[in-house]
């Protein structure tokens, strides 16, 4: 565990600008706007190798540069605080623990890309975080960190808080933009990408909360110092949200390069008493399910790519062997069926049919043909869906079909090894 | 407050532009005793913001925090996402259902409670969890659930 | 725009930067399957039937919405792409009511075509049983959600093209539907019945309320005197239902068909189009000379009339009080024609063939019965006429050309052009000019008012006055002009508004799929009819002149007011 990004969370009073400044707050911003040109700021972020923490791991400076290069009167910076990926609660820790750090990151981003207006899109399920943000923005407006001529410089930027209303898909940047525009959050096809044509058709930078929280750190300690954290390919630290059957659940900051085994057994002190690990789902409901044999995998973008998986939001759900894989995947697929925006065919229709087939399996009516069809539907969703939601929705299914194929096959033979799905007599589960 | 006042006040607070539709809907619902937006209110919002009624409905039905059906005075939302599922959210569902005598998606006869599912509420460290109105309650078991319901019934905050 | 070099299926080709894969493949004669894509609409990218393989990419890309880039290598016919398209189609089919044999779009369905073309034989995905109610609450449009494939084209037509917004996406995920506000039917919301949603629907989820049987019943009833009128746009588009080139003129064959199946008289709406010009022209001059409400709007498009009643009630006084040609025709048949031929109007059945679904609702408006009887009894769309002809088994292509009956079958070129956007205005100007100045108009072709542009305008010197006119087609275009009028920013005197894009030739009852390309061919045919006509000004129509002498006496006179004019009321 390290203490770089989250060092102030829980240490200072979240809305005390005095405490924030005494702890080094706004050093990054002041350095940026008094001593650096926007281009130099982007170069500094580029040199840090920071990659987006929302899930896609896109190089942050590259995104910033796309927006900076656009010639437009209006540009927007949006903080994506629609933390909806199940099992993820690390953005809430930052927003509640140190909102000024996130906003400082936004202001620096705005300075770098030439934006004059910002939005924080906070999920509706976090009403308290929203109140903190509203107060935080107000304080910063009063203190001259937001509004016209920030800190006396010829740079103006203000922030509006917008609330989500219960839609996972709005974590996808174009769906989020649609939502801010007052529409249902249905993803747009890309390109055009938001940096070129985003909110109201204007160049728009959308960054995740955690990504933005990294910015003041990089600026204040410098990118060279920052790069000392993590690995060569994955610099810095990552907030993990650990849940499931481990002893210590919670949000932990780790350096890239830490293994899942270290997370589960060292940081979280292992499994709860009497529980045996079955798999770890990495990156939330849209993430891969990794069997125990892969726990030595390092949390590092390149290492994970070799396994064709992603770190996603950094959620780590530790699942024990009392859970039936088929039933687990069915539950995850119900989530996607509920959260799909309904726009594109594979996602709208695919989830529903996967659930039907998994129902067959847990009812003892599954066939070999069902397994083949499951794979085909999952693949068409992954390959042909319009946005990341549909593309990632079948990840749990595909990875469990890969690593737990026997358990699916067992269900065809009327046998649930875990004994917890509806195949098992006496355990009536109807959800 | 009459319904019209409710809508007008929500629009005054959120702003009278098309992009504020979701904020307006949230505010109108927030002030509703039964936690939903009525058909009349949807029509009034449509007129005030000059957005076709079909779209106002479309938006209201898209977002799961918004409801166009009457709900209980107290909305209990049980998380059924992965982390809570792994820690027994189905038992939580059964316990709430039997304690209230209703099924998921229903409202109690006295209008006091409604039961719903919710996607992850970010309280996975205290799974299984549920949201009771604005409050998150974690590590739910039978004792806690009975306590929650009794407290509400008896008006304890 | 600069060019980029790309490779499709091994062939190098250079295309404009920003070209989509779909457009680029067309240049190589590769026909990528599409479903949500419509050539005249904004791209949706939602059905995913058009996916193609791109080298070095794990996922497939939708051809309709992916622009090419320099060096891109596209494979349109890989196993991965073919199988994905099939499975996507299979997923759509599982959710689609497959009662194809009794479907109105049987034989003209994009989903059917794709299933055939993509070699769908056995479907893998389990069907979902549909029990969705059919909305046939109104005289014009029927919605059958069980057939809807959620492509969203109807929403684009309703919201973006027409600015009406009657239907929208409701709910999300697998529950997402395209619907009116839940609990409300089309007749309970501000739907203008234009039917543009029908024209763009790839399947049979939206269609006109079918009235063919009513016509057969009338023809079978010996006590009835059945007369028929056909609108200007029908003759240039019906041929498409029988495989003729768009823009083929089939007037005489239609007349011939009607004679064969036993209509007592075959008349022409063009006659009352000429009459409309006389009445509307005089109404305009009356307003101009007597300080009446200006600008004056035309009133022949019932979708537009419904629209103004719903959305701009404050402008109702600006709408001409003239009934539409369809309604003037019905009123005259049941008064003038009935008297002249000594037929009891109660025994007359007036059938009209219209390019329009809103005409069905117009016919049953309460105020449309000034002769004491409902002006028009049955309205069929162009598509329904096509269906009726097929049902009759008469091979219309082989029929001889016959002439309309007298007297209500005589018309001028000015009436013919009512079928295209700008036509009513052009026809009116030809007459107004000559009525006011008493001089012959030297050039009667108002070319600047023609064509499918959404908004057009012109200034015409009529005597001492510069008359500013505007023309809009498609209600979203109309809205722009209406807002200007409302805010007092427009100095127009006379404005023609047609509800449907392109005017009546693009009406909601026209052959499907009427793309802009096809509409332009229909429009050309309309102006060909005009230029080939001996008489090209409405006031030169000899039967119209006789009608005034024998019956109406004078434009805007007492009889005209009773029979040919109407009123409108705001709808909330």
Q: For the segment C354-369, what is each residue's pLDDT rounded down to a tens digit?
A: 999 999 999 999 999 9
pLDDT at residue number A431: 34
Spatial CB neighbours of A293, under 8 Å, sequence gap ≥ 6: none
- Residue C126 known to be catalytic: no
Instruction: Classify C94-208 by CATH class.
Output: alpha beta
SS3 A57: coil
The answer to whether the Cβ–Cβ distance between B54 and C171 falls below 8 Å is no
Q: How many Cα atoms within 13 Å fall on the side-chain side of residue C26? A: 11
Which position among C154, C300, C356, C500 bears the catalytic label?
Answer: C300
Residue among A140, A183, A189, A143 at smallest CA distance from A162: A183
Residue among C493, C471, C464, C478 at smallest CA distance from C426: C471
Option in B53, B58, B68 nearest C169 (CB): B58
Option in B42, B52, B62 nearest C172 (CB): B62
Q: Flag whether pLDDT at C99 surpasses 60.
A: yes
The answer to whether the Cβ–Cβ distance between C170 and B68 falls below 8 Å is no
A382 touches chain C (CB under 8 A): yes
Which residue of C lies nearest to A183 if distances are taken between CA atoms?
C169
Which residue of A lies nearest to C58 if distances are taken between CA atoms?
A383
Alpha helix ranges (H) inside A252-300: 260-261
How many whole angstroms separate alpha carbon C104 and alpha carbon C383? 10
The answer to whether the Cβ–Cβ distance between C165 and B58 falls below 8 Å is no
pLDDT at residue number C513: 85
Strands C134-135 and C141-144: antiparallel
- Which residue shows structure tokens 């923490």? A53
Question: How much of chain B, in percent, has pLDDT values that exceed 90?
Answer: 94
How many whole angstroms separate alpha carbon A114 and alpha carbon A156? 9
Residue among C200, C96, C197, C218 at smallest CA distance from C140: C197
Which CATH number among 3.40.640.10, 3.40.50.300, 3.10.20.600, 1.10.3720.10 corresponds to the domain A237-320?
3.10.20.600
- Residue C283 known to be catalytic: yes
Query: Which stretches of chain B sit within 8 Å of chain C by CB?
Result: 39, 42, 51-58, 61-62, 68
Chain C residues touching residue B62 (CB < 8 angstroms): 169, 171-172
Interface-testing mutation among B35, B86, B132, with chain A (most A C-beta atoms within 10 A): B86
**Contact in structure between C62 and C35 (CB atoms under 8 Å):** no
- Structural domain spans, chain B: 3-62, 74-153
SS3 A400: helix
Q: Band of the pLDDT at C521, cuts 50, 70, 90?
A: very high
Q: For the segment C428-452, what is each residue's pLDDT rounded down to a tens digit?
A: 999 999 999 999 998 999 999 999 9
- Which residue shows structure tokens 């510069």? C466
**Contact in structure between C477 and C498 (CB atoms under 8 Å):** no
Chain B residues touching residue C172 (CB < 8 angstroms): 61-62
Residues 339-378 of A with CB under 8 A from C: 339-346, 348-353, 356, 373, 376-377
The answer to whether the Cβ–Cβ distance between B82 and A334 falls below 8 Å is no
CATH architecture of A325-412: Up-down Bundle (1.20)
Interface-testing mutation among A93, A97, A123, A166, with chain B (most B C-beta atoms within 10 A): A166
- Residue C179 known to be catalytic: no
pLDDT at residue number C95: 95
Residue among A178, A211, A398 at smallest CA distance from A287: A398
Q: Band of the pLDDT at B84, cuts 50, 70, 90?
A: very high
**Contact in structure between C227 and C364 (CB atoms under 8 Å):** no
How many whole angstroms separate alpha carbon A411 and alpha carbon A422? 11
Option in C159, C170, C180 nearest B61 (CB): C170
pLDDT at residue number A430: 37
Mean of all residue pLDDT scores within chain B: 95
What pTM was estimated for this model as a whole?
Answer: 0.96
Option in B22, B64, B80 nearest A331 (CB): B80
pLDDT at residue number B2: 65
Size of interface B-C (CB pairs under 8 A): 41
Listing DSSP states for A10-50 in one string gives TTS-TT-HHHHHHTTTTHHHHIIIII--HHHHHHHHHHHT-
Chain C residues touching residue B61 (CB < 8 angstroms): 170-172, 182
**Contact in structure between C64 and C116 (CB atoms under 8 Å):** no
- Structural domain spans, chain A: 17-226, 237-320, 325-412
Chain A residues touching residue B127 (CB < 8 angstroms): 243-244, 249
Q: How many Cα atoms within 13 Å fall on the side-chain side of residue C44? A: 27
CA A322 to chain C, closest CA, distance in angstroms equals 30
Which chains share 3+ C-beta pairs under 8 angstroms with B? A, C
Side-by-side strand order, sheet with C206-208 = C134-135, C141-144, C206-208
Which position among C208, C241, C283, C434 bears the catalytic label?
Answer: C283
Option in C171, C172, C180 nearest B54 (CB): C180
Which position among C265, C359, C521, C537 bears the catalytic label?
Answer: C359
Provide the CATH topology of domain C213-564. Answer: Fe-only Hydrogenase (Larger Subunit); Chain L, domain 3 (3.40.950)
- Residue C244 known to be catalytic: no
Exposure pattern of A127-162 as b/e (b: 16+ CB <10 Å)?
A: bebbebbbebbebbeeeebbeeebeeeebebbbebb
- Which backbone phi and psi does C358 adopt, to 5 degrees? -65, -25
* CATH number corresponding to C3-77: 3.10.20.740
The Cα-based distances of C319 to B132, C267, C309, C328 in angstroms read 56, 27, 10, 16
Chain A residues touching residue C59 (CB < 8 angstroms): 382-384, 391
**Contact in structure between A373 and A306 (CB atoms under 8 Å):** no
CA B141 to chain C, closest CA, distance in angstroms equals 32
Mean pLDDT of C120-139: 90
Residue among A127, A119, A114, A134 at smallest CA distance from A181: A119
- Residue C367 known to be catalytic: yes
* CATH number corresponding to B74-153: 3.40.30.10
pLDDT in tens, chain A (431 residues): 899 999 999 999 999 999 999 999 999 999 999 999 999 999 999 999 999 999 889 999 999 999 999 999 999 999 999 999 999 999 999 999 999 999 999 999 999 999 999 999 999 999 999 999 999 999 999 999 999 999 999 999 999 999 999 999 999 999 999 999 999 999 999 999 999 999 999 999 999 999 999 999 999 999 999 999 999 999 999 999 999 999 999 999 999 999 999 999 999 999 999 999 999 999 999 999 999 999 999 999 999 999 999 999 999 999 999 999 999 999 999 999 999 999 999 999 999 999 999 999 999 999 999 999 999 999 999 999 999 999 999 999 999 999 999 999 999 999 999 988 888 543 434 33
Residues 138-197 of A with CB under 8 A from C: 167, 184, 186, 189, 191
Q: Band of the pLDDT at B24, cuts 50, 70, 90?
A: very high
Which position among C64, C115, C154, C504 bears the catalytic label?
Answer: C504
pLDDT at residue number B1: 58
- ∠ Cα A266 A235 A294 (to 5°): 45
First-to-last C-alpha distance (Å) of chain C? 49
The answer to whether the Cβ–Cβ distance between C92 and A342 falls below 8 Å is no
Neighbouring-strand partners of residue A243? A317
A 10 A CB-CB count for C70 gives: 11
- ∠ Cα B67 B72 B76 (to 5°): 85
Looking at residue C182, the DSSP 8-state letter turns out to be: T
Interface-testing mutation among A167, A193, A342, with chain C (most C C-beta atoms within 10 A): A342
Which residue of B lies nearest to C179 if distances are taken between CA atoms?
B54
- Which backbone phi and psi does C67 adopt, to 5 degrees? -75, 150
Question: How much of chain B, in percent, has pLDDT values that exceed 70?
Answer: 97
Q: How many Cα atoms within 13 Å fall on the side-chain side of residue C11? A: 13
CA C82 to chain A, closest CA, distance in angstroms equals 11
- Residue C83 known to be catalytic: no
- Residue C359 known to be catalytic: yes
Mean pLDDT of C191-197: 98
CA B66 to chain A, closest CA, distance in angstroms equals 7
The answer to whether the Cβ–Cβ distance between C173 and A191 falls below 8 Å is no
The answer to whether the Cβ–Cβ distance between A431 and B93 falls below 8 Å is yes
Mean pLDDT of C35-47: 97
Chain B residues touching residue A250 (CB < 8 angstroms): 125
- Structural domain spans, chain C: 3-77, 94-208, 213-564
Residue among A70, A61, A60 at smallest CA distance from A196: A70
Residue among B54, B122, A287, A301 at smallest CA distance from C155: B54
Q: For the segment C49-65, what is each residue's pLDDT rounded down to a tens digit?
A: 999 999 999 999 999 99
Chain B residues touching residue A92 (CB < 8 angstroms): 122
How many whole angstroms separate alpha carbon A73 and alpha carbon A77? 13
Which position among C241, C279, C280, C384 bears the catalytic label?
Answer: C280
The answer to whether the Cβ–Cβ distance between C88 and A384 falls below 8 Å is yes
Option in C59, C95, C124 nearest A349 (CB): C95
Which position among C55, C117, C367, C403 bears the catalytic label?
Answer: C367
**Contact in structure between C332 and C563 (CB atoms under 8 Å):** yes
Spatial CB neighbours of A425, under 8 Å, sequence gap ≥ 6: none
Q: Flag whether pLDDT at B28 surpasses 60.
A: yes
Mean pLDDT of C421-427: 97
Provide the CATH topology of domain A17-226. Answer: Rossmann fold (3.40.50)
- Residue C23 known to be catalytic: no
């Amino acid at each position: 565990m390290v203490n770089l990004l989250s060092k102030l969370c829980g240490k200072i009073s979240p809305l005390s600008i005095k405490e924030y400044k005494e702890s080094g707050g706004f050093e990054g911003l002041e350095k940026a706007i008094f001593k650096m040109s926007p281009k130099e700021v982007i170069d500094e972020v580029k040199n840090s190798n920071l990659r987006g923490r929302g899930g896609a791991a896109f190089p942050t400076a590259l995104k910033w540069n796309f927006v900076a290069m656009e010639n437009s009167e209006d540009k927007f910076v949006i903080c994506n605080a629609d933390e909806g990926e199940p099992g993820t609660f690390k953005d809430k820790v930052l927003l509640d623990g140190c909102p000024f750090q996130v906003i400082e990151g936004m202001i620096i981003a705005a300075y770098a890309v030439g934006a004059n207006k910002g939005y924080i899109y906070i999920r509706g399920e976090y009403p308290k975080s929203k109140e903190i943000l509203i107060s935080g923005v107000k304080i910063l407006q009063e203190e001259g960190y937001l509004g016209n001529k920030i800190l006396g410089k010829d740079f103006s930027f203000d922030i509006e808080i917008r609330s989500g209303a219960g839609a996972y898909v709005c974590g996808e940047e174009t769906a989020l933009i649609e939502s801010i525009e007052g529409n249902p959050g249905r993803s747009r096809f890309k390109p055009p990408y938001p940096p070129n044509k985003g909110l109201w058709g204007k160049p728009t930078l959308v960054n995740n909360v955690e990504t933005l929280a990294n910015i003041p750190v990089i600026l204040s300690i410098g990118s060279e110092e920052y790069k000392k954290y993590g690995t060569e390919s994955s610099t810095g630290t990552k907030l993990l949200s650990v849940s499931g059957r481990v002893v210590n659940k919670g949000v932990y900051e780790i350096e890239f390069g830490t293994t899942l085994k270290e997370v589960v057994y060292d940081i979280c002190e292992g499994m709860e008493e009497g529980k045996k690990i079955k798999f770890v789902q990495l990156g939330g409901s849209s993430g891969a399910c990794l069997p125990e044999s892969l726990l030595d995998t390092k949390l590092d973008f390149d290492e994970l790519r070799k396994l064709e998986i992603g770190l996603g939001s950094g959620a780590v759900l530790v699942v024990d062997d009392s859970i039936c894989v088929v039933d687990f995947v069915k539950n995850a697929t119900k989530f996607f069926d509920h959260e799909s925006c309904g726009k594109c065919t594979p996602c709208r229709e695919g989830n529903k049919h996967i659930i039907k087939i998994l129902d067959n399996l847990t009812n003892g009516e599954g066939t070999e043909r069902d397994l083949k069809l499951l794979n085909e539907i999952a693949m068409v969703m992954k390959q042909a869906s319009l946005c990341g939601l549909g593309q990632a929705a079948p990840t749990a299914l595909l990875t469990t079909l890969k690593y737990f194929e026997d358990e699916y096959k067992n269900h065809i033979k009327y046998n649930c090894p875990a004994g917890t799905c509806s195949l098992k007599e006496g355990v009536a589960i109807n959800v | 407050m009459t319904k019209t006042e409710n809508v007008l006040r929500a629009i005054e607070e959120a702003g009278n532009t098309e992009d504020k539709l979701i904020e307006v809907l949230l505010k109108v619902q927030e002030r509703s005793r039964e936690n939903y937006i009525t058909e009349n209110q949807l029509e009034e919002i449509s007129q005030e913001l000059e957005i076709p009624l079909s779209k106002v409905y479309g938006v209201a039905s898209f977002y799961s925090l918004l409801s166009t059906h009457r709900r209980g005075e107290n909305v209990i939302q049980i998380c059924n996402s992965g982390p809570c599922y792994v820690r027994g959210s189905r038992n939580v569902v059964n316990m709430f259902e039997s304690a209230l005598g209703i099924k998921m998606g229903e409202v109690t006869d006295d209008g006091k409670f409604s039961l719903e599912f919710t996607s992850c509420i970010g309280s996975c460290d205290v799974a299984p969890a549920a949201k009771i109105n604005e409050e998150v309650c974690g590590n739910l078991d039978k004792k806690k659930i009975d306590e929650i319901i009794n407290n509400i019934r008896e008006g304890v905050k | 725009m600069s060019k980029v070099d790309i490779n499709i299926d091994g062939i190098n080709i250079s295309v404009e930067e920003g070209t989509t894969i779909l457009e680029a493949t067309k240049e190589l004669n590769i026909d990528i399957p599409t479903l949500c894509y419509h050539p005249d609409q904004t791209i949706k990218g939602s059905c995913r039937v058009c996916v193609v393989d791109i080298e070095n990419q794990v996922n497939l890309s939708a051809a309709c919405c992916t622009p090419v880039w320099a060096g891109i290598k596209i494979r349109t016919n890989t196993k991965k792409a073919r199988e994905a398209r099939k499975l996507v189609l299979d997923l759509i089919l599982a959710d689609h009511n497959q009662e194809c044999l009794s479907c109105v779009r049987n034989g003209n369905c994009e989903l059917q075509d794709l299933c055939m073309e993509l070699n769908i034989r056995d479907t893998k995905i389990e069907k979902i049983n549909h029990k969705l109610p059919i909305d046939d609450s109104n005289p014009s449009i029927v919605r059958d959600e069980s057939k809807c494939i959620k492509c969203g084209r109807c929403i684009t037509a309703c919201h973006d093209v027409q600015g009406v917004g009657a239907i929208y996406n409701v709910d999300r995920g697998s529950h997402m539907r395209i619907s009116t506000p839940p609990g409300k039917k089309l007749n309970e919301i501000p739907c203008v019945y234009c039917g543009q949603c029908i024209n763009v629907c790839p399947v049979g989820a939206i269609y006109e309320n079918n009235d063919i049987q009513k016509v057969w019943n009338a023809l079978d009833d010996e006590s009835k005197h059945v007369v028929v009128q056909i609108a200007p746009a029908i003759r240039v588009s019906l041929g498409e239902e029988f495989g003729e080139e768009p823009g083929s003129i089939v007037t005489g064959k239609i007349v011939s068909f009607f004679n064969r199946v036993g209509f007592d008289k075959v008349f022409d709406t063009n006659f009352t189009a000429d009459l409309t010009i006389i009445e509307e022209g005089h109404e305009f001059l009356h307003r101009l000379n007597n300080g009446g409400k200006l600008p004056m709007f035309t009133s022949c498009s019932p979708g537009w009339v419904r629209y103004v009643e719903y959305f701009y009630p404050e402008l109702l006084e600006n709408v001409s009080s003239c009934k539409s040609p369809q309604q003037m025709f019905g009123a005259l048949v049941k008064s003038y024609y009935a008297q002249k031929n000594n037929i009891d109007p109660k025994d007359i059945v007036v059938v009209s063939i219209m390019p329009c679904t809103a005409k069905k609702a117009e016919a049953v408006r309460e105020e449309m019965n000034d002769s004491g009887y409902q002006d028009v009894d049955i309205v069929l769309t162009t598509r329904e006429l096509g269906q009726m002809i097929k049902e009759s088994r008469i091979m219309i292509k082989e029929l001889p050309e016959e002439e309309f009956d007298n007297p209500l079958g005589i018309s001028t070129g000015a009436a013919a052009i009512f079928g295209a956007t700008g036509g009513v205005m052009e026809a009116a100007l030809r007459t107004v000019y000559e009525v006011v100045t008493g001089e012959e108009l030297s050039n009667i072709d108002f070319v600047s008012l023609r064509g499918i542009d959404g908004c057009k305008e012109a200034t015409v010197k009529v005597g001492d006055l510069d008359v500013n006119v505007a023309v809009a087609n498609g209600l979203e275009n109309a809205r722009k002009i209406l807002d200007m009028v409302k805010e007092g920013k427009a100095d127009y005197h006379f404005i023609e508004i047609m509800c449907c894009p392109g005017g009546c030739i693009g009406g909601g009852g026209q052959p499907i799929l009427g793309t802009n390309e096809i509409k332009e061919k229909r429009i050309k045919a309309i102006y060909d009819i005009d230029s080939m006509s001996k008489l090209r000004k409405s006031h030169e129509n000899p039967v119209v002149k006789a009608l005034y002498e024998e019956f109406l006496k004078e434009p805007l006179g007492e009889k005209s007011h009773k029979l040919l004019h109407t009123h409108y009321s705001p709808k909330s």
